[in-house]
Amino acid sequence: MNANSLPSPPPTALEALNEWVAEVALLTQPERIQWCDGSDAEFDALTAQMQADGTLLPLNDKTHPGSWLHRSDPDDVARVEHLTFVCHEREEDAGPNNHWMAPAEAHAKIDALFEGCMRGRTMYVIPYCMGPIDSALSRCGVEITDSPYVVANMRLMTRMGAAALARIEREGTFVRGLHSTGELDPNRRYIMHFPAELSIKSYGSGYGGNALLGKKCHALRIASHQARSEGWLAEHMLIVGIENPQGETHYIAAAFPSACGKTNLSMLIPPDAYREKGWKVWTVGDDICWMRPGEDGRLYAINPEAGYFGVAPGTSDKSNPNALASIQRNTIFTNVAVTDDNQPWWEGLDDRVPVKDWQGRDFQPGNGPAAHPNSRFTVSAKQCPSYSPQAEAPQGVPISAIVFGGRRASLVPLVFEARDWTHGVLVGASMGSETTAAATGQVGVMRRDPMAMKPFCGYNFADYFSHWLSFDQPGAKLPKVFHVNWFRKGDDGQFLWPGFGDNLRVLEWMIGRVSGEAGAVDTPIGALPRPEDLDLEGVSLSEEAVEELFGFHREGWRGEFDGIGEFLGGFGARMPDALHAEQQRIAAALRD
């Protein structure tokens, strides 16, 4: 079909949307256009179509009803940071934390790839809302894609369809996302972001973080730029509610790099002794958090997502029972293995031996892991046993504490508290973590990952840190800031802290610090708990573990702060003086 004879889109009050869809159709030349309404009938038709062409493989309907397996191209299994560009007019606005390309050059380069790329394919138009549909904190977008797999995932991950389109028509503004799987050629693959235009173009990948444009592309890279101009924060953070035996709930936002335990912490199950006392944990979000100051001076947060795009390997009844319970039905699995009775399987799940690996080959240990290390599940958040009804609260939830953390095998203690907001911003700005399989490249290398936003900040980190500092205003009731390290190792290479549900013991101490009830010892790097400040009943820790988890090693921290100073200096004159001064204050205290 010639693009000029394509059927007109259905009537919509927003002419700008009609015009954009027509422009994209003229560029990409699809066989047909389908406006997505988010209905059950539409989803059923899409999954039937993908089952027919082999894109989705049905799983065991008795054990995992309504669930599917998708296998990616083996060269398309993770985010591609080296092919991801942030396209401001000036390179210094993108900053050294981003790959930059001038907008005109970027449009020309990627539009040449889009030209005619949808011939013989359906072009799907997906209106979606990031956040509760009636929340003033939410923002909307439209993704155009030729991938029915993307449509199915966006239905689980966002508020997608007719209600979102109605809001877009009312507001008259939306983030524009254009995506095509193209030829899945790694040499013809780009993910381009144009923050000033509120637009995204992604070509050549079908992987979630590169193709589900509402997720990292919109909700972090574009939204972080929107948030700076509108006075809020778009962050790579989980949101979890901790309800104490008195019935009081404190909400905590926590930033960890991908595959460092955000989903596990957001769905934490209290230890038996805590449950018996009446402690409860409520999951608001597992990955992304948008925060805005409320009238009372506190920060209020929403989870812009409606589902989980979680890492499968390591998810088990021990590590995350709530996640495992969430994905027993109506779930899309990507790049996992399967058992002889066609159930999804991955390393860390149980001791069964799969029959097919993530590429569909007969499983042979010599071929590597059965499930890809970055294999995923996509599921509605409402299926989580610990799902919080407050996840749909239009006003968001008040944040009592912000937590930063990453994988650090040495030096960094179990937990410490920042002295004040400026110190807290420095803690987040300088946090480091060992890399994981969620992005292409070498695994296990320590890198600075400020606020866990290194791959996701849509502008210069120095300006981003200034934006964080700007929230410290008269009348502000800002959250306390903490840093955690669940991944400290002993001399034998084993983790010293049990983690998982026992992390609630650390969160309880944080809440105690917020309410002024928990003790701590002041050190140059912040306030550290003593072992007796945490409820460690039932936890067996060696003398080495106690020393390393609760200790402060001045000499090691001197080197760490020298490195932090060099890191801050790498951003040049834009780096706020307040962070330089804070780094120097602590470095001087460490020398005393």
Pairwise CA distance, residues 457 & 571, whole Å: 14
* CA 422/CA 526 separation, integer angstroms: 12
Do the annotations mark residue 502 as ligand-binding? yes
Q: Is 439 annotated as a binding residue?
A: no
Under 8 Å between Cβ of 150 and 46 = no
466 appears as a binding residue in the annotation: no
Is residue 244 annotated as involved in ligand binding? no
User: Cα–Cα distance between 552 and 528 in angstroms, integer?
Assistant: 8
Q: Is 264 annotated to bind ligand?
A: yes
As a residue count, the chain comes to 592
* Structure token pair of residue 360: 């569909």
Instruction: Please give the Cα distance from 258 to 260 (Å, whole number).
Output: 6
* Most distant pair of Cα atoms in the chain: their distance: 77
Would the annotation count 448 as a binding residue?
no
Known binding residue 287? Answer is yes
d(CA 88, CA 197): 9
- Tell me the Cα Rg of the chain: 24
250 is in an annotated binding site: no
Please list, in sequence order, all residues whose beta carbon lies within 8 angstroms of the beta carbon of residue 11, skipping any fewer than 6 positions away.
Answer: none
Separation of alpha carbons 114 and 204, rounded Å: 9
289 annotated among ligand-binding-site residues: no
- Residue 216 labeled ligand binder: yes
Rounded Cα distance, 217 and 152, in Å: 18
Q: Does 410 belong to an annotated binding site?
A: no
**Is 32 labelled a binding residue?**
no
CA distances, 514 to each of 269, 321, 397, 402, 481 (Å) = 22, 29, 16, 11, 10
CA dist., res. 2 & res. 232, Å (int): 45
- Active site residue: 129, 260, 384, 457, which one? 260
The residues pairing with 99 across neighbouring beta strands, listed in sequence order, are 85
Q: Is 260 a catalytic residue?
A: yes
262 known ligand binder: yes
- Say if residue 259 carries a ligand binding annotation: yes
Question: Annotated binding residue at 2?
Answer: no
- The reply to whether 261 sits in an annotated binding site is yes
Of residues 414, 419, 446, 448, the one with CA closest to residue 581: 419
As annotated, the active-site residues are: 260
Annotated binding site for GTP: 259-264, 376, 407, 500-503
Q: Which residues define the annotated binding site for substrate?
A: 79, 207-209, 258, 374-376
Q: Which residues are part of a known binding site?
A: 79, 207-209, 216, 236, 258-264, 287, 374-376, 407, 500-503
Binding region for Mn(2+)? 216, 236, 287
